[in-house]
Amino acid sequence: MNKNFFEKQMLVDGFNEDSLKKLLNSKVLIIGCGGVGHPAIIYLLSTGIGNLYIADDDLVDFNNLHRQFIFDQNDIGKSKVEIIKSKLAGKYPHSNIVSINKRIDEKYLFEIIDDIDVVIDASDNFETRYLVNDICVEKQVPLVSGSCINQEGQIISFKNNDSGPCYECLFPRKKNLLDQNCESEGVIPTVAGSVGTFSSMQAISIILGDEECFNKLILINMKAGKIAQSFLSENPGCIICS
């Protein structure tokens, strides 16, 4: 591996030989290779995440090209994860990209999660979000949740050690939430891009041992040019973590 690739990064406070080694030895699972997933994948690889598991069962659609910039017209109808792997493996040879061409289900997630250091949930549906949260809480794996709707994005990192908060504490599952996603609400590329970028940095910080990123909600309103942070506490009545 040519470490000159990381030359500029190594000049930044907190990034040195040891941190690069940690990143290269780390395993990150990103669930969802859509508008949030694309920038997250690129920045995780470029910062030196050594093992990146990418999960999605979708095929590339023409209207994905709007914000899923790794794809082009020749990719339409092909597997998202296989295209991403084929395009990026040579560009980031320090990283092992593992493509998971299926919708994450409970059985599969249980099989692989013990191997994972951080999960990024960039999925587009609440069913997956609750499933991922339930298993990350049970297995005590840190979870970065990145989502966006319309002009707004949110990023939260959950530590998932022996106490909350967890995703369920903030968003107790309700039937009326199940239909709300980017499909029905719409999104603009810059919002998805920002959420993906923030999510990747949160995962990198977690791997490097930064405890300060946990249990904070980062809210981005792109149109207003505002970023807000608030601290989260657990819900004592949470059905998952309490």
The residues of the shown chain that bind Zn ion, judged by CB under 5 A, are: 164, 166, 168-169, 238, 240-241
Structural tokens at position 36: 């949030």
Q: Quote the least distance from Cβ 158 to Zn ion, whole Å.
A: 9
Nearer to Zn ion among residue 56 and residue 168 (C-beta): 168
DSSP the chain: --GGGGHHHHTSTT-SHHHHHHHHT-EEEEE--STTHHHHHHHHHHHT-SEEEEE--PBP-GGGTTT-TT--GGGTTSBHHHHHHHHHTTT-TTSEEEEE-S---HHHHHHHGGG-SEEEE--S-HHHHHHHHHHHHHHT--EEEEEEEBTEEEEEEE--SSS---HHHHS---GGGTT-SHHHH-B-HHHHHHHHHHHHHHHHHHHTT-GGGTTEEEEEETTTTEEEEEE----TT-TTT-
Nearer to Zn ion among residue 25 and residue 161 (C-beta): 161
The residue type at 35 = G
Nearer to Zn ion among residue 24 and residue 217 (C-beta): 217
Q: Quote the least distance from Cβ 106 to Zn ion, whole Å.
A: 18
Q: Quote the least distance from Cβ 240 to Zn ion, whole Å.
A: 5
Nearer to Zn ion among residue 77 and residue 236 (C-beta): 236
Nearer to Zn ion among residue 138 and residue 185 (C-beta): 138
Q: Quote the least distance from Cβ 172 to Zn ion, whole Å.
A: 9
Rounded (10°) CA dihedral 211, 100, 122, 178: -120
Nearest to 28 by CA among 204, 159, 164: 204
Q: Quote the least distance from Cβ 15 to Zn ion, whole Å.
A: 33
Nearer to Zn ion among residue 152 and residue 168 (C-beta): 168
Q: Quote the least distance from Cβ 145 to Zn ion, whole Å.
A: 12
Q: Quote the least distance from Cβ 110 to Zn ion, whole Å.
A: 19
Nearer to Zn ion among residue 13 and residue 231 (C-beta): 231
